Amino acid sequence: MARDYVADNLATPRLDHLFPNMAEFDRSVTTWPWLRRDIDHPYRADRRNPIVGFINRDEASILTASARLFAGRAGLEIGAWRGWSTAHLISSGLGSLHVVEPLLADPDWRAEFEAVVRAAGGEATTILVPEPSPAAVTRLGQSGARWSFAFIDGDHDGEAPARDALACLPYLEPTAMVLFHDLVSPHVAQGLRAMERAGWSVMAYQTAQMVGVAWRGDVAPVAHRPDPEQTWSVPDHLRGIAIAGVAGA
């Protein structure tokens, strides 16, 4: 039976009660080609949209700990779906959080999302932006927004992840960090590579879908030991990128 994993030095808040429609599914519900089906960690999704999975607890622990490094500072989330990752970002203590998610233009979707934000304690600090990225990111940046932390988990197709990364770049603080989810996809990896080409340090975390991190300035990424009970591999498109918790990384 699949079991959750969180590294010994990390923890994740229990936010399940905020998501009554979250359930565990067999990975066969989705045909996304980059889903790793050989990692025995639970796959959870909303009952109404089971083909779109949430970040798992391993990934959530990395996200929460990373964002906590910037407690009190401004954060940005690109792609929030039902708000599972948003709730974790709120729990980290960010001073403010812009959430760019075009699905929020739907009144019912937004009402449910706002209820999650309130219950997570982020009503006063979370700004919902019901627009597509990267245009929304550029608009916010040109209006004066600056961010110390960003989580990119939006459109995973083609050049979209790289466009999102490049849109953030001019508006990130001198000390900043950017996380990417689903690095097993070569398209998402191009977002991390774009940060690397811009002079940022980069690394990957071995999780079910892999998390990428780019950072600069007076900060270092959180440590992570991959689940020792899994058999891990590294996709060819990530060659040359250090892996957290792996010898030589």
* Domain at 191, CATH number: 3.40.50.150
Burial class (CB in 10 A: 0-12, 13-18, 19+), 149: buried
Kindly state whether residue 58 falls inside one of the protein's structural domains: yes
Kindly state whether residue 62 falls inside one of the protein's structural domains: yes
Kindly state whether residue 43 falls inside one of the protein's structural domains: no
- Split into its structural domains, the chain has a count of 1
Q: Would you state the pLDDT for residue 249?
A: 46
pTM, entire model: 0.97
* Tokens coding 189: 């990896």
Kindly state whether residue 18 falls inside one of the protein's structural domains: no
Kindly state whether residue 143 falls inside one of the protein's structural domains: yes
Kindly state whether residue 198 falls inside one of the protein's structural domains: yes
- Cβ-based neighbour number of residue 16 at 10 Å: 11
Q: 98 and 76 in contact (C-beta within 8 Å)? A: yes
* Tokens coding 74: 């401004």
Domain of 148, in residue numbers: 54-220+234-238
Show the low-confidence residues of the chain (pLDDT under 50). 249
Express each pLDDT in 31-63 by its tens digit.
899 999 999 999 999 999 999 999 999 999 999
191: left (phi over 0), alpha (psi -120 to 50) or beta: alpha
Q: Would you state the pLDDT for residue 47?
A: 97
Kindly state whether residue 153 falls inside one of the protein's structural domains: yes
Alpha carbon separation from 224 to 33, 183, 185, 216 (Å, rounded): 26, 16, 21, 19
Q: Would you state the pLDDT for residue 247?
A: 62
Kindly state whether residue 134 falls inside one of the protein's structural domains: yes
Q: 121 and 74 in contact (C-beta within 8 Å)? A: no
